A and B are shown apart, each in its own frame.
Chain A
Amino acid sequence: MRHARDLSRREFLVRAGGTAAAVPTLSAILEACSKPGTAASGSETVQIARPDNPVTLPMNGEPIATDTPIEQGATLQILNWSVYMWKYVINQFVQQYGDNGIKFSGITTFNNMDEGVQKLQSGKIKADVFFPTIDVLGKLVAADLLQPLNHDLIPALQQDNWAVFQNPYYDQGWRYSVPYTIYTTGVGYRRDVIPDDVIHGMDNPWSILWDPAHKGKVGVYPSYRDVMAIALMKNGITDLNTSNDADLEKVRTDLLAMIDAVSPRIAYDASYNKLQRGVFDVTTAWSGDVVAGWGYDPPYTEASYKGYGYWFPADRKGPIDNDLIAIPKNAEHPRLAHEFINYWISFRHAMDNFSWNGYQPPQTQADVNELTKTQGLYSKQSSSWAAPTPYVGPWMPDAVVRETDFPIGYREGPLPADVDDHWHEIWSEFTAGVGS
């Protein structure tokens, strides 16, 4: 049964022009002779995962055998976001497996998830490890682009990672994914402009992004889901996957009002670079970005590090999420990929990477209360040009993510197509710059 379903889905994807298979031009045209898109009407849609609706993804084939030998002389291929992994830690891995002739030639990067999926989907990039977000995981499995993981080869998950991730809602039994980073989405601010107690004392701190006092100094991410999620939070709406027209209308009104009130600017580096350099006073911020900001903050003194902070609701009820690591179906070195994943989510290496990229790993051995007191490896290594700093600056305790945050936080999941279109429509209106 499963085979039959897979076949039809794969067949559809070939028609759709979405698979790895290189279809010769002529046959592509001939195949298209039945109207594309119509074939899809009968096929089932991908199940949408929610914390209250956990999903067990179907097994596409079997994981590789535990006794598969490590590939010799392989060049590790990583498909990832830019500025996301510390090369030093990758090089350590390569050295550790030096006897196997492992090489590493750089990370193929993407700037947003769609670009990443496109690159993977094209089949022309044979990545060994890929870093998907939760909302595309189900789709990637449905399109048969990922391979199931061999749990025996990744003991670090059970040994070192939080219990929350032993059986996550989006991938019950972690068949395809392990957690990578965990982060909250809040507000980054200049502490020299907005004192800590002022923002913490506000009735609705989310609304500081709309405060005309900071006109021209507000930065938002080029990420429609996160910016709109913040607009929802500002309105007290906690369903970050809402399809409710009234909710979305509020978001629309608020986004357009934001243009008039503060002339926001869209920037990828809003809260790890521009906030630090004083270009922005307030930003939409992922906790990890603000934490990593010291590395972009000349003159690299403690005083300059203390210039910016991170706010997240004190009751910890706000947007929270995690990213994933997975192995593509067409990985050329699947055994090495398992080794790499195990290495990457094990305590020492996960923490070293955290010291560089600012995104916390869900490590049981890392006492979250100590993170604001302990110096990380990158800070130690950078002593020649930068003042020392702990993993997380003690003046921004809100940026530390705790295991208890996950059950109460709000999560962004995949959206049905028509709802997603509606979200995009609103975002387009915002980026077109027309005020309210």
Chain B
Amino acid sequence: MSVPSEPGPVRRRRRRGAPADGDERVHYSRWFWPSFTIPATIWLAILFILPLYTVISIAFGTVDPIFRGPLPVYEPWWWSGEQFGKVLNDSFGFYRIVYVHTFEYVVVASAICLVLAYAVAYYVARYGGKRKTLLLLLLVAPFFISYLMRMLAWINLLDTEGYVNKILTFLHITPHPVDWLGGRPSTVIMGLVYGYIPYMILPLYAFLDRIDVNLLEAGRDLGAGPARTFLRVTLPLSRPGILAALVIVSLPMFGDYYTQNLLSGSPKTTMLGNLIDEAVGSTGQGPKAAVFVIILMVLVLIPMLYYMRSTSRSLAVR
């Protein structure tokens, strides 16, 4: 702690928001705190906002006639909506099924994630006891080895000659090996759950861990059984945590392409992310990729806004 350099008045407590009057010393110059935000703000303006604008400029731009690579048009008055209209039109045509699949997979995977993650987080938070440290370490462990590496292991496990099929046929659960990787929605959903659930368990755990045990005991003392206590006390209390966890997990899933690439590869399970990844690698399809990026952005923006509002409100409340 530094030595006081000047003798100052002893009592300094200012009400939040009250203007500093002559009697009170001004703690911070007007620009003190804002200056902290400047580097990150500039960073985001150049590397987040500008890139998004470039995507729009490409979606409404054209292609160069030789290599047919995308040519962004930066001025809105020269934008052409031709490509956008075409993709939008096809979105109600043959692409519709891709949107439907994407929604189905994300909704089902998020729901499974939530049930599973909640159960696990609840158990660790409430009943972890002495094993809590071990349990948490195990929960964090998947973060520490490459997601793709674990996916590779799954590919080998689910192979027609892999261990999963060996066990299933050995136990006579299925007469023949199941072709898990043959373009099954269930496998893609399993992959999505597997890839994203750690991101849900930890925030949920943190949230549930903070719930005051006294509230639960009060519930019990009032005669509620464990189920009622859970439904009437724990669940309502954890609503904000559930919402946040759902958004954190389901929105990124909308842009996932590698899970279906690795675990299925069938056109029947194509997701929105696959359309983007494929378009960006094909001659003359750059603007199409940009249009899909914009569509994806708009699709996730609505739940995002809801999430923002709920977090800003909960921050304000706390």
Contact = CB atoms under 8 A, between A and B. Distances in A.
A1 interface: no
Contact of B67 (A45, A117, A222, A433): A117
Interface string B62-105: 11111111011111001000000000001000110110010000
A35 interface: yes
Contacts of B160: 278-279
A266 B97 contact: no
Interface string A95-127: 000000000000000011111011001000000
Q: Which of B66, B78, B94 has the most CB of A within 10 A?
A: B66
Interface residues of A, number: 50
A113 B98 CA distance: 26
Contacts of A32: 72-75
A183 B316 CA distance: 66
B284 A37 contact: no
A421 to B, nearest CB: 6
Contacts of B181: 279
Contact of B74 (A29, A136, A431, A433): A29
B67 A432 contact: no
A53 B270 CA distance: 40
Contacts, number: 126
A381 to B, nearest CB: 26
A278 B64 CA distance: 43
A40 B71 CA distance: 12
A139 B67 contact: yes
Nearest to A25: B50
A417 B68 contact: yes
A417 B181 CA distance: 36
A432 B94 contact: yes
Interface stretch (A10-18, A234-242, A360-368): A10-18
Given A17-B71, A29-B74, A434 B64 contact: no
Given A417-B284, A424-B285, A432 B270 contact: yes
Contacts of B278: 222, 431
A263 B69 contact: no
Interface string B151-185: 00000000111000000000000000001011100
B310 interface: no
A279 B180 CA distance: 11
Interface string B40-75: 000000000000000000000111111111011111
Nearest to A425: B90
B64 A18 contact: yes
Contacts of B78: 35
A29 B281 CA distance: 26
B98 A433 contact: yes
B267 interface: yes
B62 A114 contact: no
Contact of B64 (A40, A114, A224): A40
A267 interface: yes
B69 A424 contact: no
A121 B183 CA distance: 36
Given A37-B71, A216-B183, A265-B264, A16 B285 contact: no
B183 A434 contact: no
Contact of B268 (A13, A45, A113, A259): A259
A114 B283 contact: yes
A135 B270 CA distance: 29
Nearest to B61: A36
A417 B266 contact: no
A112 B67 contact: no
Contacts of B61: 36
B6 to A, nearest CB: 48
Interface string A205-237: 000000000001100001010000000000000
A266 B95 contact: no
Contacts of A431: 267, 270, 274-275, 278
A141 to B, nearest CB: 10
B75 A13 contact: no
A143 interface: yes
B269 interface: yes
Nearest to B70: A17
Contact of A36 (B73, B159, B182, B283): B73
A136 B94 CA distance: 30
A115 B183 contact: no
B265 A267 contact: yes
A259 B66 CA distance: 34
Interface in B95-154: 95, 97-98, 101
A110 to B, nearest CB: 9
17 contacts: A16-B69, A32-B73, A36-B62, A37-B62, A37-B65, A45-B66, A112-B281, A114-B282, A263-B268, A265-B266, A266-B266, A417-B63, A420-B284, A424-B282, A429-B94, A430-B267, A432-B98
Interface of A: 13, 16-18, 29, 32-33, 35-37, 40, 43, 45-46, 111-115, 117-118, 121, 136, 139, 142-143, 216-217, 222, 224, 259, 263-267, 277-279, 417, 420-421, 424, 428-434
Question: Closest 10 CB pairs between A and B?
Answer: A433-B267, A16-B64, A37-B62, A265-B265, A216-B182, A433-B268, A434-B94, A40-B65, A265-B266, A429-B94
Given A117-B67, A265-B267, 8 more contacts: A13-B66, A29-B74, A36-B71, A121-B69, A265-B182, A420-B284, A432-B94, A432-B97
